[in-house]
Structure 1
Amino acid sequence: MPPRTALSTPLRAWKCPSCSQRTFTSTAGRASVGPEHPRYINFPEPPQQNAPQHKWMKGVLPVPRDVFGGKGAGDQSSEEALARKTKAAERQRDPEKGSREAWKARMAEQRKRNLREGVRELKDRQQKTRRRMETAQAEKYREQDELLSRPEREDERLTTPSHGLDLDALYHGQVPDPSRQTRLALKRERSAAFEATRTAERLDSVNTLYSHARNFIVTPKQLDEAVENAFGTNDFPVTFGDRGEGMSIWETGKPQSVQDMLNRANNARSSKAIESAGGYIAINQERVRRIAEALTGGKMDTDNF
Structure 2
Amino acid sequence: MPRATPITTIARAAALFSSSASRPSPQQQIPPESPLFINVPNPPQDQSIEALRELKPVKGHLPIPRRVFKQRDGHLKPQDEWLTRSAPAPTSAKSQQPPRSDIQAWKRLMAASRRENMREGVRALYSRKQSFEKRRLERQTARLVANRAAMLAPEREDERLTRASINAGTLQTAVLPDPQRMERALESRARTEFLSAQKSEARRDAIQELYMKARSFIVSEKELEAEVDKLFAPDYWKKQGVSASGFAVSNIWDLDGKPPTVADMLNDVSRTSSGFMKNAESEKTRTLKRQKEVAEELTGGKLDGI
Q: TM-score category by the smaller chain?
A: 0.3 to 0.5
Structure 2 length as normaliser, TM-score? Answer: 0.36
TM-score (norm 1): 0.36
- Structure with the higher fraction of residues in helix conformation: 2
